Amino acid sequence: EAGVVQSPRYKIIEKKQPVAFWCNPISGHNTLYWYRQNLGQGPELLIRYENEEAVDDSQLPKDRFSAERLKGVDSTLKIQPAELGDSAVYLCASSLEKGSGSATTYEQYFGPGTRLTVT
Amino acid sequence: KQEVTQIPAALSVPEGENLVLNCSFTDSAIYNLQWFRQDPGKGLTSLLLIQSSQREQTSGRLNASLDKSSGRSTLYIAASQPGDSATYLCAGRTSYDKVIFGPGTSLSVIP
């Protein structure tokens, strides 16, 4: 079974330029997550999709970040314009979630990430 | 605001030792908890998942437990090996339906 696929693996851009990341989740997984991980820290959730709906985007800097998940499968995360502080690893994860509230069952699977360097 | 701490931040042990990593949530209302390992420059690999109806999970030399009343989880690694060297992260699904990660414990197992 193929895992979560992300591209590109590495990206170097100058500040104020746009950048986009792509994620293909595990087949059949209804939930997709985008995280940002700074060096020496745990991942921070940017946005979570359940099928096509963004159910949690409270941590997404909406002035410059946007995301979409067309047809509830692949997803794209975009930054425009990029700033120096956006340099980080951007991780995509997916899970098959069932139930709700305290009865929710899920297990997250992560892609290899995209390392973004803004100069 | 829910916060997560992991203790210790870094750990270096000789090969063969048993060790315990700790994860603690300020808000003890955690529904599920997942332990991951992350190798340098790589994504996260799932190790163990404790669902809301469970208290612990075991896989090989790994055992994880979750005490929901205190919001604390431990990851026990038996007979550590150099290949266990990595960063270990815990992530919890809170009662507010948020997924929150800890900062990680960096483990080094010396041959």
pLDDT, one tens digit per residue, over B67-81 is 888 889 999 999 999
In chain A, residues with a C-beta closer than 8 Å to the C-beta of B39 are none
- Closest chain A residue to B99 measured between Cα atoms? A45
List chain B residues with CB under 8 Å of A56.
Answer: 97-98
For residue B41, the model assigns a pLDDT of: 84
B104: closest chain A residue by CA: A42
A14 interfacial to chain B (CB closer than 8 Å): no
**B36 in contact with A at a CB cutoff of 8 Å?**
yes
> Which pLDDT score is estimated for A1?
63
Q: Are A93 and A111 in contact (CB under 8 A)?
A: yes
Looking at residue A102, its pLDDT comes to: 65
pLDDT of residue B42: 87
Please check the confidence at residue A84 and state whether its pLDDT lies above 80: yes
Q: Is A104 in contact with B46 (Cβ distance < 8 A)?
A: no
Q: Are B40 and B106 in contact (CB under 8 A)?
A: no
Q: What is the pLDDT of residues A91-105, one digit of tens each?
A: 999 999 877 766 677
What is the per-residue pLDDT for A103?
66
In chain A, which residues have their Cβ closer than 8 Å to the Cβ of B52? 102-105
Are B89 and A42 an interchain contact pair (Cβ–Cβ within 8 Å)?
Answer: yes
pLDDT score for B54: 87
What is the tens place of the pLDDT at every residue in B3-26? 899 999 999 999 999 999 999 988
CA distances A97 to A28, A49, A75, B31, Å, are: 10, 11, 17, 13
Lowest mean pLDDT among A37-51, B11-25, B91-105: B91-105
Reference B75, options B36, B27, B31, B29; nearest CA is B36
* A42 to chain B: closest CA residue: B103
